[in-house]
A and B are shown apart, each in its own frame.
Chain A
């Protein structure tokens, strides 16, 4: 297994454009998480899925953000009408379900720059 993959690694976009990021979790992990990290801060939770069901969304996830996980495999995070404040590292993580006795595996992230 190659771990959690995120694509692209870097994205530069103009303000007002839409962007979409992809995350491929470890295949046997049915939990998938999205986090956002700005410079000097720890990652902040955005949302998570168990299989294809989106179970929780943070208040940070405004209506310009949408996440999907069709068929419970890969996930996409879309940001519509990007703003400069959306510039951050977007991280994806996965783990098996079954409680807190499992470690989380993170991807390398997608760094978004909105100009």
Chain B
């Protein structure tokens, strides 16, 4: 089965609403990273967060290793937050270096 699962697959928000994106993993964790991508754009690293909570502006990432999950919280969403959010798990088991989730597509309307 899939080792990294993201939910929800897509999310529609009104500007100003908060959102929480989830990443659950079934294998051991070396590190967790969150990326953002605009349609047709490049991947931008948001957080490198192996454990605990990190903040950056309106974004918060929390990784709880024991529960095998990581979340990305967007507060007071803006239209510029629209795009795809990907989580990536780094693990060195079985020779797989980095495993990506399938992403959450966020659409924020004014």
A and B assemble together:
no
Please list the residues of chain B having a beta carbon within 8 angstroms of any beta carbon in chain A.
Answer: none
Please list the residues of chain A having a beta carbon within 8 angstroms of any beta carbon in chain B.
Answer: none
